[in-house]
Amino acid sequence: METICVLLHEHKHYLNKCVEILNEEWPRSVAAREHSLEKSMPNGNPPYPGLPCAMVLVAGTEPDKEAAILGHSRLMPVHGEENSCLIESVVVKKSHRGKGLGKKLMSCSGKQALNLGITTMYLVTMDKQDFYKHIGYSICEPVRLSSFMSCNRESKRPGYDEFLKQYLGSRGGCCAKDNKKAAPKQDSESVTSPDSSTITSASDTCIPSPPAPPLPPPPPPKDKKSSQKTKYGKSIVRIDPDDIFWMKKSLI
């Protein structure tokens, strides 16, 4: 199948079709998705005035207004990482998967990054790490996505909050299993017993303190990934950071 990759900000007539293909994979309101795509236009800020930018995979050899949209990706700046970007929102239309279009979309995105002077690309994924390894990506440490997003420097999972904002959007970017350094989790629902040494008698005589009540049974284990329906029928997805993989690739 003949396809071409174009920049969304140069072909804004594809914006509505991009909304459809993205919402097919990650449902959001149309208004929220349009706002997100409009923010995917280059803002002219240094060091990379060409970022952020969205790539559109179009069927055919010319960017005709009526051409079918087959895929989408977006390049975002990485804070504090020279010559680097993050590729996200990578999606191929469901009816055209299994035809090598994902690999073609990633190749086009890499060429655009090189045109902007970028030599390293990062990404985050939950279940496509084998595909990305096949095209040259490897597991890496998390990075900060951009300077305007909050990031706790003392966090054991740097970059996780930024990933949730970018990747999950309105439904809510984290350490890889191979290199995680996260501290043990603490169950916020756990119950601790009072210190028996703080219990004293009301009189001067030594009366033994009553035994502490037994601890309640622990809560059942939680699923790493669970969802809950809202009153509007949409699902709120909860993701375990250990299920998220950060990967990178050198373009040179």
pLDDT digit string, tens, across residues 105-127:
999 999 999 999 999 999 999 99
Spans of all domains in the chain: 3-180+227-250
158 Cβ partners below 8 Å, 6+ apart? Answer: 142, 143, 144, 151, 152
The mean pLDDT value for 5-24 works out to 95
Q: What is the dotted CATH code of the domain comprising 3-180+227-250?
A: 3.40.630.30
The mean pLDDT value for 174-199 works out to 39
77 membership: H or E segment, kind and range: strand 69-77
Distance from chain centroid for Cα 38: 19
Q: Which of the given ranges, 43-52, 65-74, 205-214, has the highest pLDDT on average?
A: 65-74
Distance from chain centroid for Cα 181: 19
Contact 120, 84 (CB under 8 A): yes
Among candidates 24, 6, 246, 10, which has minimal Cα distance to 141? 246
47 Cβ partners below 8 Å, 6+ apart? Answer: 82
Q: Quote the tokens at residue 118.
A: 């970028």
What is the structure's pLDDT at 225?
54
> Higher confidence at residue 181 or residue 45?
45
What is the structure's pLDDT at 251?
96
What is the structure's pLDDT at 203?
41
Encode pLDDT of 64-101 as tens digits: 889 999 999 999 999 888 899 999 999 999 999 999 99
Distance from chain centroid for Cα 247: 12
Residue 33, number of CB atoms within 10 A of its CB: 21
| pLDDT range class, residue 159, cuts 50, 70, 90 | low
